[in-house]
Structure formats: C-alpha cells, structure tokens
Amino acid sequence: MEGQLTMTEADLDPAALEVCDFDPADYLGRESSQIHLLRDAAESGNAHYLATAIGAVARARGLSRLARETGIKRQTLNKSFGPQGNPTLETLMTVLPALGLEIDFRLKPPAQREELAEA
C-alpha cells in the first residue's frame, strides 16, 4: 500500500535503535505547563519527583539566570533539583521566589487527614 510504513527485522534490532537524551524542560515553555507539572509532583508525595520537577522548571526558565539571581552555583542547583536531589529548606526558600513561585498551605478535608498518634 502506498504511504504505509513497513518494518523489517533490521528495524527491530535493539542495537540499531538510537537513544536520545530527554529533558522535560524542553517541553515546559508555557507557565501553565510548568504549574501543572509542579502540582502533579507535589500531589504525588514523592520528594524526588518534586525536586526533579522544580529542576525542570528552573532549566526551562534559565538555570544560569537562576544561579546569578540566587547566588547558588549552577552545579549545586543541578544536584539539588536532579533525580536524586534533596534540596534543603533554605535552598527551596531561595529558589522558589526567584522562579516566581510560592508555597501555599491548605488544610485537607477532615476525612482525608491522618491524625498524629498521641504520645
């Protein structure tokens, strides 16, 4: 059939596959996309996902500029907000405002709250 792609055995050979680096920052040009990612990461409860999401937003907005504005070395930002990152509260409280972001605390509905065990 004309216009239809056909695959050969060579196309299915894993050694012939090309792997490209993927950076989500390349797809976060709109603020709405950035906020959607950050909310999803925060709601997941996964600290590494949240750190990585903040890092992706930082790269999308310009990591070098962020380093200049915050006084935090670019290498430190990459490590703190990378896949195994665990930024300190001090780093978060410096970086988030520089990105134009803020933390907002809300109470969960009573049915969703986990009560602290009494000592």
- List pLDDT tens digits, range 27-41: 898 999 999 999 999
Report the run of H or E that residue 77 belongs to, with start and end.
helix 74-80
The domain locations on the chain are 24-100
Task: Give the torsion sign (CA, 83, 89, 95, 97).
Answer: positive
Q: Is the pLDDT of residue 7 over 70?
A: no
Give the CA distances from residue 82 to residues 75, 79, 118, in Å, rounded to whole numbers and listed in that order: 10, 5, 36
Contact call for residues 51 and 81 (beta carbons, < 8 A): yes
- List pLDDT tens digits, range 42-54: 999 999 999 999 9
Of the listed ranges 10-14, 91-95, 97-101, the least confidently predicted one is 10-14
Q: What are phi and psi of 97, to 5 degrees?
A: -60, -35
Q: Report the distance separating Cα 78 and Cα 48, nearest Å.
A: 13
Question: In percent, how much of the chain has pLDDT > 70?
Answer: 87
Count other Cβ atoms within 10 Å, centred on residue 22.
Answer: 8
Question: Which of these, 41, 72, 58, lies nearest to 100 by C-alpha position?
Answer: 58
Question: According to the model, what pLDDT value does residue 13 have?
Answer: 73
Contact call for residues 50 and 85 (beta carbons, < 8 A): no
